[in-house]
Amino acid sequence: MATVPLAILFEGDFVLKLLPVESEDTMDVLAEKARTVTIGVHIADQPGKAIRVRKEGNEEPYPRDMTVETAGLTPMDGVNLYFE
């Protein structure tokens, strides 16, 4: 397992954040890690809605059970997060 720092931007936020995740983290785990540094700080929570992850510039989100490594994400890649 390797630490992969990603540049994350939550839809509606104005601050790009650096988030260290593990290569074996799933997109749901990545989303939960992002929640701790974004929700309640700049973005209001939306209980009952899943947080989805997609690579910067892509329209489709990654499958929720896909790992960071399987997605091919590398250090400093940009990912967007949003409530579904």
Three-point CA angle 53, 44, 81, nearest 5°? 10
Q: pLDDT tens digits for 27-74?
A: 999 999 999 999 998 899 999 999 999 999 999 999 999 999 999 999
Helix (H, G, I), strand (E, B) or coil at 38: helix
Question: CA-to-CA distance for 26 and 68, rounded, in angstroms?
Answer: 6
Instruction: Provide mean pLDDT across the span 9-23.
Output: 95
Token pair of 42 as six digits? 């700049």
pLDDT-derived band at 25 (thresholds 50, 70, 90) equals very high
Which pTM does this prediction carry? 0.92
Supply the pLDDT for residue 24: 98
